[in-house]
Amino acid sequence: MTPRLASARPLAAPALALALALLALAPTSGCRGERSFSDGDRRAIAALLEAQAAAWNAGDLEGFMGAYEDSEDLVFTSGGAIRRGYATTRDRYRQRYGDDRSTMGALSFELLEIQPLGADGAIVLGRWRLRETPAAGEGVFSLALRRDAEGWRIVHDHTSAAPAPEAPTPERPAPAEPVAPAPAG
Protein backbone atom coordinates (compact mmCIF):
# COMPACT_ATOMS: atom_id res chain seq x y z
CA MET A 1 0.00 0.00 0.00
CA THR A 2 1.36 3.43 -0.95
CA PRO A 3 1.51 6.02 1.87
CA ARG A 4 -0.79 8.97 1.36
CA LEU A 5 0.70 12.44 1.32
CA ALA A 6 -2.60 14.27 1.24
CA SER A 7 -2.30 15.09 4.93
CA ALA A 8 0.85 17.18 4.26
CA ARG A 9 -0.87 19.33 1.62
CA PRO A 10 -2.76 21.61 4.05
CA LEU A 11 0.60 22.69 5.58
CA ALA A 12 2.11 23.59 2.21
CA ALA A 13 -0.07 26.65 1.56
CA PRO A 14 0.63 28.38 4.91
CA ALA A 15 4.37 27.62 4.61
CA LEU A 16 4.46 29.04 1.09
CA ALA A 17 2.56 32.12 2.22
CA LEU A 18 5.01 32.64 5.11
CA ALA A 19 8.02 32.26 2.81
CA LEU A 20 6.59 34.80 0.35
CA ALA A 21 5.82 37.24 3.16
CA LEU A 22 9.37 37.01 4.52
CA LEU A 23 10.79 37.48 1.05
CA ALA A 24 8.63 40.58 0.51
CA LEU A 25 9.83 42.05 3.84
CA ALA A 26 13.53 41.41 3.15
CA PRO A 27 15.50 44.53 2.15
CA THR A 28 16.46 44.33 -1.51
CA SER A 29 20.03 45.59 -1.08
CA GLY A 30 21.10 42.85 1.32
CA CYS A 31 18.81 39.95 0.56
CA ARG A 32 21.59 38.03 -1.15
CA GLY A 33 23.88 38.23 1.87
CA GLU A 34 26.17 40.69 0.13
CA ARG A 35 29.19 41.89 2.05
CA SER A 36 32.36 43.66 1.15
CA PHE A 37 35.98 43.58 2.25
CA SER A 38 36.45 45.95 5.19
CA ASP A 39 39.12 47.40 7.45
CA GLY A 40 38.02 44.73 9.94
CA ASP A 41 39.04 42.10 7.39
CA ARG A 42 42.48 43.73 7.03
CA ARG A 43 42.86 43.67 10.81
CA ALA A 44 41.72 40.04 10.98
CA ILE A 45 44.26 38.99 8.34
CA ALA A 46 47.06 40.92 10.07
CA ALA A 47 46.07 39.32 13.40
CA LEU A 48 46.09 35.86 11.80
CA LEU A 49 49.66 36.39 10.58
CA GLU A 50 50.76 37.88 13.92
CA ALA A 51 49.37 34.80 15.69
CA GLN A 52 51.13 32.59 13.14
CA ALA A 53 54.51 34.24 13.86
CA ALA A 54 53.88 34.05 17.63
CA ALA A 55 53.14 30.31 17.37
CA TRP A 56 56.35 29.81 15.38
CA ASN A 57 58.37 31.77 17.93
CA ALA A 58 56.93 29.58 20.71
CA GLY A 59 58.04 26.44 18.84
CA ASP A 60 54.41 25.52 18.11
CA LEU A 61 54.43 24.20 14.55
CA GLU A 62 50.82 22.98 14.77
CA GLY A 63 49.71 26.45 15.94
CA PHE A 64 51.66 28.02 13.07
CA MET A 65 49.94 25.68 10.62
CA GLY A 66 46.54 26.76 11.94
CA ALA A 67 46.69 29.77 9.60
CA TYR A 68 46.63 27.43 6.60
CA GLU A 69 43.53 25.80 5.15
CA ASP A 70 43.60 22.14 6.21
CA SER A 71 43.01 20.82 2.71
CA GLU A 72 44.65 18.90 -0.09
CA ASP A 73 43.99 22.02 -2.19
CA LEU A 74 46.58 24.07 -0.24
CA VAL A 75 49.48 25.14 -2.50
CA PHE A 76 52.91 25.99 -1.05
CA THR A 77 55.69 27.13 -3.37
CA SER A 78 59.28 27.72 -2.28
CA GLY A 79 62.79 26.87 -3.37
CA GLY A 80 61.64 26.22 -6.92
CA ALA A 81 59.27 23.44 -5.80
CA ILE A 82 55.48 23.31 -5.76
CA ARG A 83 53.93 21.32 -2.92
CA ARG A 84 50.26 20.51 -2.54
CA GLY A 85 48.29 19.69 0.56
CA TYR A 86 48.27 20.63 4.22
CA ALA A 87 50.12 17.50 5.42
CA THR A 88 52.82 17.91 2.77
CA THR A 89 53.33 21.55 3.76
CA ARG A 90 53.49 20.71 7.48
CA ASP A 91 55.93 17.85 6.85
CA ARG A 92 58.18 20.14 4.80
CA TYR A 93 58.28 22.72 7.59
CA ARG A 94 59.02 19.98 10.14
CA GLN A 95 61.80 18.51 7.96
CA ARG A 96 63.48 21.88 7.43
CA TYR A 97 62.97 23.56 10.81
CA GLY A 98 61.98 20.87 13.32
CA ASP A 99 59.13 21.49 15.70
CA ASP A 100 60.57 23.16 18.76
CA ARG A 101 61.80 26.63 19.63
CA SER A 102 65.49 25.69 19.60
CA THR A 103 65.44 24.71 15.92
CA MET A 104 62.68 26.96 14.60
CA GLY A 105 64.28 30.28 15.56
CA ALA A 106 62.56 33.66 15.68
CA LEU A 107 60.24 34.65 12.81
CA SER A 108 58.95 38.11 11.98
CA PHE A 109 56.72 39.38 9.19
CA GLU A 110 56.43 42.82 7.64
CA LEU A 111 53.11 43.18 5.85
CA LEU A 112 53.51 45.45 2.85
CA GLU A 113 50.08 45.20 1.29
CA ILE A 114 46.74 43.48 1.82
CA GLN A 115 44.75 43.58 -1.40
CA PRO A 116 41.12 42.42 -1.40
CA LEU A 117 39.87 39.97 -4.01
CA GLY A 118 36.15 40.36 -3.57
CA ALA A 119 34.52 40.03 -0.17
CA ASP A 120 36.02 36.66 0.78
CA GLY A 121 39.51 36.71 -0.71
CA ALA A 122 42.75 38.63 -0.32
CA ILE A 123 46.36 38.69 -1.46
CA VAL A 124 49.01 39.60 1.10
CA LEU A 125 52.46 40.79 0.06
CA GLY A 126 55.16 40.91 2.70
CA ARG A 127 58.66 40.23 3.90
CA TRP A 128 59.77 37.53 6.33
CA ARG A 129 62.88 37.27 8.46
CA LEU A 130 64.05 34.22 10.39
CA ARG A 131 66.84 34.54 12.99
CA GLU A 132 68.40 32.46 15.77
CA THR A 133 68.51 29.22 13.78
CA PRO A 134 70.94 27.54 11.38
CA ALA A 135 68.21 27.95 8.73
CA ALA A 136 68.16 31.75 9.22
CA GLY A 137 67.28 33.87 6.23
CA GLU A 138 64.93 36.45 4.87
CA GLY A 139 62.84 37.04 1.80
CA VAL A 140 59.42 37.90 0.47
CA PHE A 141 56.08 36.15 0.33
CA SER A 142 52.71 36.44 -1.32
CA LEU A 143 49.72 34.70 0.21
CA ALA A 144 46.26 34.05 -1.14
CA LEU A 145 43.69 33.89 1.65
CA ARG A 146 40.07 32.86 1.61
CA ARG A 147 37.41 33.52 4.22
CA ASP A 148 35.46 30.45 5.31
CA ALA A 149 33.10 29.76 8.21
CA GLU A 150 36.07 29.71 10.63
CA GLY A 151 37.64 32.95 9.39
CA TRP A 152 40.55 33.72 7.08
CA ARG A 153 42.87 30.91 5.97
CA ILE A 154 45.93 30.78 3.69
CA VAL A 155 45.16 28.71 0.59
CA HIS A 156 48.26 29.54 -1.47
CA ASP A 157 51.71 30.52 -0.15
CA HIS A 158 54.57 31.56 -2.43
CA THR A 159 57.67 32.25 -0.35
CA SER A 160 61.11 33.05 -1.69
CA ALA A 161 64.40 33.60 0.07
CA ALA A 162 66.77 36.42 -0.70
CA PRO A 163 70.16 35.18 -1.85
CA ALA A 164 72.66 34.75 0.98
CA PRO A 165 75.44 37.32 0.94
CA GLU A 166 78.52 35.89 -0.69
CA ALA A 167 81.57 35.39 1.51
CA PRO A 168 84.60 37.49 0.55
CA THR A 169 87.31 35.71 -1.42
CA PRO A 170 90.80 36.86 -2.45
CA GLU A 171 89.37 37.52 -5.93
CA ARG A 172 86.38 39.40 -4.51
CA PRO A 173 87.25 41.09 -1.22
CA ALA A 174 84.65 42.56 1.11
CA PRO A 175 83.64 46.13 0.31
CA ALA A 176 85.77 48.71 2.08
CA GLU A 177 84.25 50.47 5.05
CA PRO A 178 83.66 54.16 4.38
CA VAL A 179 86.39 56.31 5.84
CA ALA A 180 85.36 59.39 7.75
CA PRO A 181 87.00 62.57 6.48
CA ALA A 182 89.84 63.90 8.62
CA PRO A 183 88.83 66.86 10.76
CA ALA A 184 89.74 70.19 9.22
CA GLY A 185 92.38 71.79 11.14
Q: Which CATH number is 152's domain given?
A: 3.10.450.50
- Domain-located, residue 15: no
pLDDT of residue 176: 61
In a domain, 11, yes or no: no
| pLDDT tens digit sequence for 4-49 | 444 444 444 444 444 434 334 344 334 456 789 999 999 999 999 9
**Pairing between β-strand 151-161 and β-strand 75-78 as defined by DSSP bridges:** parallel
Determine the pLDDT at residue 185.
53
Determine, yes or no, domain membership for 17. Answer: no
CB 53 within 8 A of CB 109: yes
Question: What is the per-residue pLDDT across 133-170, written as a single tens digit (0 to 9) for each?
Answer: 999 999 999 999 999 999 999 999 999 999 987 776 77
Within a domain: 52: yes
Question: Domain count of the chain?
Answer: 1
Mean pLDDT calculated for residue range 73-93 = 97
Query: What pLDDT is attached to residue 171?
Result: 73
For residue 18, the model assigns a pLDDT of 40
Domain of residue 124: give its range: 39-161
Q: Is residue 167 part of a domain?
A: no
Q: What is the spatial distance between Cα 90 and Cα 127, in angstroms, rounded to a whole number?
A: 21
- Strands 106-116, 75-78: parallel, antiparallel or unpaired by DSSP? unpaired
pLDDT in tens, 106-118: 999 999 999 999 9
As a dihedral over the C-alpha atoms of residue 148, residue 104, residue 111, residue 69, rounded to 10 degrees, the angle is -10
Note whether residue 180 is domain-resident: no
Average pLDDT, the chain: 83
What is the predicted pLDDT for the residue at 138?
A: 97
